[in-house]
Amino acid sequence: MRIAIDTGGTFTDCVYLENGRLQILKVRSTPDDPAAAVLAAVTRIARGEPVEVRHGTTVGTNALLERTGARVAFVTTAGFEDTLAIGRQARSRLYDLFFPKDEPLASADMRFGVGERTASDGSILHRVCADQLSELREAIRSAAPESIAVSLLFAFANPANEQAVAAALEEIGVPLSLSHEILPEFREYERASTVTINAYLAPKMQTYLMRLDAGLAARESRLDVMQSSGGIIPAATAAREPVRTILSGPAGGVVGAMAVAKRAGFTNLLTFDMGGTSTDVAFVASQRGLSITTESQIAGMPVAVPMLDIHTVGAGGGSLASFDRGGALRVGPESAGADPGPACYGLGQRPTVTDANLALGWLDADYFLGGEMKLDEERARESLDRSRGALPAAHIFADGIVRLAEAHMAQALRKISVEQGRDPRDCVLVSFGGAGPLHACALANILRIPRVLVPVFPGALSAYGILVSDAVRDHSRTVMLRPDDPRLAEHFQTLEQDSADVVIRTLDMRYVGQGYELNLPWSGDFVAAFHALHAERYGYSDPRRHVEVVNVRVRMVSMTDELIVEPAEVQEGDGMQAVRKEKRMYCQGEWQSGKIYDRALLRAGDVFTGPAVIAEYSATTFLPPEARLRVDQWLNLIIHP
Amino acid sequence: MAEPDHPPVNPDPIELAICKSSFHAIAEEMGAVLRRTAFSPNIKERCDYSSAVFDTQGRVIAMGDHMPVHLGSMPRSVEAALAKLSFSPGDIAILNDPFAGGTHLPDITLVMPVFVSGAAHAAFYVANRAHHADVGGMYPGSMGLCREIWQEGLRIPPVKLVSGGVLNEPLLALLLNNVRTPNEREGDLTAQIGSCRVGAERLLEMVSRYGMPRIEQNIVALLDHSERLMRALLHSLPEGEFPAEDYLDNDGITTEPVKICVAVRTDPAHESLQVDFTGSASQVSGSLNAVAAITWSAVFYVLRCLLPEEAAPTAGLMRPVTLVIPEGTVVNARPPAAVAAGNVETSQRIVDVLLRAFAEILPARIPAASAGTMTNLTIGGIDPRTGEAYAYYETIAGGSGARPEGNGISGVHTHMTNSLNTPVEALEYAYPFRVRRYAYRAGSGGLGRYRGGDGLIREIELLGPAQVTLLADRRAFAPYGLAGGGKGAKGSAMLLANDECTALAGKCSFEAPAGAVLRIETPGGGGWGI
């Protein structure tokens, strides 16, 4: 039996298939010992059977965000020890005389230089010498690191010096993260940052995964971990290369969205995952596969290993509303977070987006989290009334909060669609997370997206994505070659050492002189394909110009057995069997009467129009007037907004 | 309180917020498109560009979060283009003349009108500006030590690069014939055109969504919103006249220090402010001359830093502020002054002087002086690996000044610039250089209760003979400390060639042989407190 377990801040979501039907189990997370919740869930689901566990973990993310990782020694070419600290020499905030800057993960006394140099063509200009290496080893040993990162200039072009350094440091007996293994690509700061993050997370992840593995081994089970790039890797690999797992949860969401959209017959999708404090959006063209980026930033630090191209904005249901000093409304970036949370949760004083949703009648106060938690409508309205300034009524204020929050979300979706030359009118908007389906129709209208899809278990789509992910290993190397260079094929071959069902070869290419690359498949006439892709993404191309291949990449995929989910029988219906009550809802500037449906009671083939609210355990969908909803054979809600 | 220039409107706080964020998003997207599609590392890797959106009268209503020195001065470009040209749909103007809407010649600005279909006048203008790595003139990189503007490169008055959607090929050919790296220039200009068109497209989408009347009303509200925030700041200041002065080392031609002085006059009762540069040095023979747009930018930058974050950088912001900038001075140069360094060096010193004055007004909110120079390094020559000409430009960060509540930051760009470094590995692929060292310059930050940030050390070995131009300051006058804090270390540079080490002046240009190593040390920030 295969189980996907995604650890979140509040809940640990488990999704598995039992007798052809998807099952969900939510258990409370145990933040002090996340393994406890995972093992407890396995015990409940597996009932003693051996299981394959696939895990989305936040252990790495949290260690990075909370700065609780290892004491790291950073080793690089002498003269460049400060690379990690200088970064790109730019400040984070332009118009702030007191702009902040975080200490790098290795402080000045933990950064070490070694006399050596490799040139861009891979020739060794200065070989490391043995005396220096033993000095370096002793200096590092006395600094007592828990983990070591090594990233020498141009080590990807020729790793000889880096390998010599690694051999000398091995006997210190702590995990080594080496740049030519973790990320053999150019741009020294981004590479050093990635390798150092890996070293920073390695000891903690090793301990955590060993504890989980030991707990599972007792039942002859295996453990895999979700990567940020949208595929799983064995726990042992994840323990060695934890930097690949930082955003495993959000990656699961995108993979899950792609799987449900594909099954429902859609090819291009925009994902919209709105939670309490942040919102993730992504674009996927399923015939091209998942869209990957190597330019991510986490906690202000570059992470250049492949990750799904997910854009995150710091706005969610908990974003606070207020007026700025010039009298304009403002939603976020401040958030009520989990503590105190929105006013309607009973503790917070200031109004949030969730309070606004409740005041507009878009949430069912009695059926939040399946009724486990009662929302306080009175408190929500009071907080809105207290803060509404000159606006005439709480619901007017609430309406403004929602519209402004939706404008922010629409901009996030624009960034990953129109800004990249992709037309939202060709997409389906797959909405999930607790709050995504509340705002999906409004966003679809702003961006002219013709369809909205709300999957089954929208609050646990990440776990579903992890369940259906393939096993994936990504390898890459900076080569900097002209496209007709015969060595290209050799480079691919050296990268393809693992066995796999499918090998996907891609190239990062650019016009000579450009500073950014586009990734495209290594196919027949890839140069022509590059010109075409450049025109699509950036509005022009110039076939007269020389192009170069900057990086070669391979993605080794071992397919996961497809999940056989039985379609439901479709029967025309109006959904009336699921109506729990009627309620007034504020939409399009007036109060209207709408129905509240219980999603669990909806049947395939049901069709109805808004205004309506569809309530379920993990999320709420709002259907505005005139929007038409249909339940498809997979029990997705398909909405014409 | 001064009368606003229109009847008071009661803004809808919701529409205002949505409008403000939509315009800002458009300016940001224009910048993103430009960065993604430009050719030169200067734009792509270093992010030396800006973009902005203007209303039908040419008043700025949104600017991207880009180069501060560009942003305050962009409105002058639109003003100059509007004064010289009459626009039709599909036109795009180009300009770089510092005396007609520009700042210094490498900064080329494009201005595009946005017409709502059927209208006789443009409803909006969009503009972007990018620092081009070479625009001709005496020195590769066009940032050398010139005495008059004609030596600095090609001077472009506001002219149409695109008319009715059709590229003016002869004009482009003329421009490209006069620069050292025409391919790169063409690529960058194409990217600038694309960025303008994206901005125009987004504005028209906004019009079709909300309609012009609603948008016009919100523009008025948006400009007022900025003004209100500025007035609230000015209202909170103590009344008085606060003078300050500081110096640039010299103009690179003579050894005379160049004085910049200011008197900041606050008037909380009228919520207004006067910034008077009377007494600043006459314009100089070298290229340190700043045109008025730059001085205006520096004032805008300092005030924006003092305003709350929600203050949108619109034309409304500066309504209650007046500037006195006497003509023919180093802060308001007249033709034919050379101006290349006014943008990069003098602009930083103007900020230093303004902050020194504001340190008297708001002592808890002003840090000590930062490096105060962008340390501009230009290297040009023939790449021995390919036989092709190249021109490379970079700026090197320094230390930031200590703050009333903490140490300064080391090795970071401050105030009027925020350009990124070019990665060492990208540099060595693209140019015949080998970087020998890139590190913090330990101990260069000023002492005090809080220490100034340290400067940087950068060593570059030249693998072929090259023409090198250095344009840097703070060699004679160190970055000041505040509240008793010590000064930051001055900058320095040297050349190691043929086993000899030569100290380099802050401003110099010379031929270096293959194998020479340039070593540059940038200033630290001043300290704060004892």
pLDDT above 90 covers what percent of chain B? 85
Q: B340 φ, ψ to 5°?
A: -50, -45
B466, pLDDT greater than 80:
yes
Name B282's bridge partners: B329
Answer yes or no: do A167 and A107 share one domain: yes
| Distance from C-alpha of B3 to C-alpha of A304, rounded to nearest angstrom | 54
Q: Counting beta carbons within 10 angstroms of the beta carbon of residue A143, is it exposed (0 to 12), middle (13 to 18) or buried (19 or more)?
A: middle
B162, pLDDT greater than 80:
yes
R_g of chain B computed on alpha carbons:
23
Element (H, E) at B502: strand B500-503
| Distance from C-alpha of B148 to C-alpha of B287, rounded to nearest angstrom | 8
> In this structure, what token pair is assigned to residue A179?
């740049």
Check A91 against B311: CB less than 8 A apart: no
Q: B437 φ, ψ to 5°?
A: -160, 140
Taking all residues of chain B, what is their mean pLDDT, rounded to a whole number? 94
Average pLDDT for B349-360 = 98
A288, pLDDT greater than 90:
no
Q: What is the pLDDT of residues A214-238, one digit of tens each?
A: 888 777 788 999 999 999 999 999 9
Check A328 against B17: CB less than 8 A apart: yes
Which range has highest mean pLDDT (A20-34, A79-93, B55-69)? Answer: A79-93
Average pLDDT for B413-439 = 94
Residues 397 through 436 of chain A touching chain B, CB cutoff 8 Å: 399-400, 403-404, 407-408, 411, 414-415, 419
The answer, as to whether pTM is greater than 0.90, is yes
- B266-300 as b/e: b if 16+ CB within 10 A: bebeebbbebbbeebbebbbbbbbbbbbbbbbbbb
Using pLDDT thresholds of 50, 70 and 90, give the confidence band for residue A252.
Answer: very high
Which DSSP string do the residues of A481-493 spell out, in sequence order? Answer: E-TT-THHHHHHH
Contact between residue A74 and residue A82 where contact means Cβ atoms under 8 Å apart: no
Chain A touched by B173 (CB under 8 Å): no
Taking all residues of chain A, what is their mean pLDDT, rounded to a whole number? 92
Give which of B16, B18, B362 to mutate to test A binding, by max A Cβ within 10 Å. Answer: B18
Question: Residue B225's closest chain A neighbor by CA?
Answer: A326
Pairing verdict, β A111-114 and A72-77: parallel
Question: Residue A102's closest chain B neighbor by CA?
Answer: B409
Answer yes or no: do A311 and A329 share one domain: no
Instruction: Name residue, tokens 């400040």.
Output: A91
| Distance from C-alpha of A121 to C-alpha of A131, rounded to nearest angstrom | 27
N-to-C CA span, chain A: 39
| Distance from C-alpha of B40 to C-alpha of A69, rounded to nearest angstrom | 38
Answer yes or no: do A447 and A575 share one domain: yes
Q: A154 φ, ψ to 5°?
A: 55, 25
Q: What is the pLDDT of residues B203-244, one digit of tens each?
A: 999 999 889 999 999 999 999 999 999 999 999 999 999 999
In terms of DSSP H, where are the helices of B2-126?
13-37, 41-44, 68-71, 74-84
Contacting residues of B for A353, CB less than 8 Å apart: none
N-to-C CA span, chain B: 41
- What pLDDT does residue A539 have? 67
Min Cα distance A571 → chain B (Å) is 39
Q: What is the pLDDT of residues B12-43, one digit of tens each?
A: 899 999 999 999 999 999 998 898 888 777 78
Residue B487: helix, strand or coil by DSSP? coil
> Residue A457 is part of a domain; what is its CATH number?
3.30.420.40
| Distance from C-alpha of A567 to C-alpha of A634, rounded to nearest angstrom | 5
Phi-psi label, residue B118: left if phi above 0, alpha if psi -120 to 50, beta otherwise? left
Contact between residue B418 and residue A91 where contact means Cβ atoms under 8 Å apart: yes
R_g of chain A computed on alpha carbons:
26
Average pLDDT for B246-274 = 97
Answer yes or no: do A96 and A198 share one domain: yes
Chain B touched by A94 (CB under 8 Å): yes
Check A325 against B40: CB less than 8 A apart: no
Answer yes or no: do A445 and A590 share one domain: yes
Contacting residues of A for B305, CB less than 8 Å apart: 95-97
Boundary of a domain, candidates A221, A248, A275 = A248
Chain A touched by B212 (CB under 8 Å): no
> In this structure, what token pair is assigned to residue B356?
């020194």
pLDDT above 90 covers what percent of chain A? 72
Chain B touched by A373 (CB under 8 Å): no
Which range has highest mean pLDDT (A566-570, B368-372, B423-427)? Answer: B368-372
Check B409 against A86: CB less than 8 A apart: no
| Residue A190: other Cβ atoms inside 10 A | 23
- What pLDDT does residue B389 have? 86
B9, pLDDT greater than 70:
no
Chain B touched by A190 (CB under 8 Å): yes
Chain B touched by A480 (CB under 8 Å): yes
Domain count, chain A: 5
Q: A50 φ, ψ to 5°?
A: -70, 145
Answer yes or no: do A459 and A575 share one domain: yes
| Distance from C-alpha of B444 to C-alpha of B399, rounded to nearest angstrom | 8
| Distance from C-alpha of B232 to C-alpha of B205, rounded to nearest angstrom | 34
Which of A83, A404, A446 is closest, CB to CB, to B17? A404
Chain A touched by B217 (CB under 8 Å): no
Answer yes or no: do A297 and A445 share one domain: yes
Average pLDDT for B467-489 = 97
Contact between residue A231 and residue A247 where contact means Cβ atoms under 8 Å apart: no
> In this structure, what token pair is assigned to residue B239?
């009344």
Contacting residues of B for A186, CB less than 8 Å apart: 423, 425-426, 429
Residue of A358, A445, A344, A459 lying closest to A402 (CA atoms): A358
Extents of the domains making up chain B: 13-226, 367-530
Contact between residue A226 and residue A466 where contact means Cβ atoms under 8 Å apart: yes
Positive/negative CA dihedral, B36, B37, B43, B46: positive
Name B500's bridge partners: B497
| Residue A126: other Cβ atoms inside 10 A | 14
> In this structure, what token pair is assigned to residue A162?
């880096």
Min Cα distance B30 → chain A (Å) is 9
Question: Residue B30's closest chain A neighbor by CA?
Answer: A419
Answer yes or no: do A200 and A225 share one domain: no
Residue A113: helix, strand or coil by DSSP? strand
Element (H, E) at A248: helix A248-263
> In this structure, what token pair is assigned to residue A543?
């076939």
| Distance from C-alpha of B425 to C-alpha of A523, rounded to nearest angstrom | 28
Which of A79, A96, A154 is closest, CB to CB, to B305? A96
Min Cα distance A365 → chain B (Å) is 26
DSSP classification of residue B403: B
Average pLDDT for B94-122 = 95
Query: For chains A and B, what is the number of CB pairs under 8 angstroms?
Result: 195
- What pLDDT does residue A289 have? 81
B147 to A150, B250, B254: CA distances (angstroms): 49, 13, 11
Check B409 against A538: CB less than 8 A apart: no
Which of B32, B41, B412 is closest, CB to CB, to A89? B412
Domain containing residue A495:
474-557
Residue of B448, B490, B351 lying closest to A97 (CA atoms): B351
CA angle B174, B175, B181 (to 5 degrees): 120
B184 to A245, A544, B128: CA distances (angstroms): 39, 13, 17
Residue of B127, B157, B151, B154 lying closest to B139 (CA atoms): B151
Check B439 against A79: CB less than 8 A apart: yes
CB within 8 A of A288, min separation 6: which ones?
none
Element (H, E) at A130: helix A130-143
Answer yes or no: do A85 and A180 share one domain: yes
Q: What is the pLDDT of residues A319-357, one digit of tens each?
A: 999 998 888 999 988 888 777 889 999 989 999 999 999
Answer yes or no: do A440 and A315 share one domain: yes
Check B310 against A330: CB less than 8 A apart: yes
Check B423 against A82: CB less than 8 A apart: no
Check A97 against B47: CB less than 8 A apart: no
Contacting residues of B for A330, CB less than 8 Å apart: 17, 310
Answer yes or no: do A178 and A108 share one domain: yes
Residues 314 through 343 of chain A touching chain B, CB cutoff 8 Å: 323-331
Residue of B394, B363, B365 lying closest to B377 (CA atoms): B394
Q: What is the pLDDT of residues A566-624, one digit of tens each?
A: 899 999 999 999 999 999 999 989 999 999 999 999 999 999 999 999 999 888 999 99
More confident residue, B397 or A62: B397
Check A99 against B367: CB less than 8 A apart: no
Check A95 against B304: CB less than 8 A apart: yes
Answer yes or no: do A479 and A450 share one domain: no
More confident residue, A61 or B178: B178
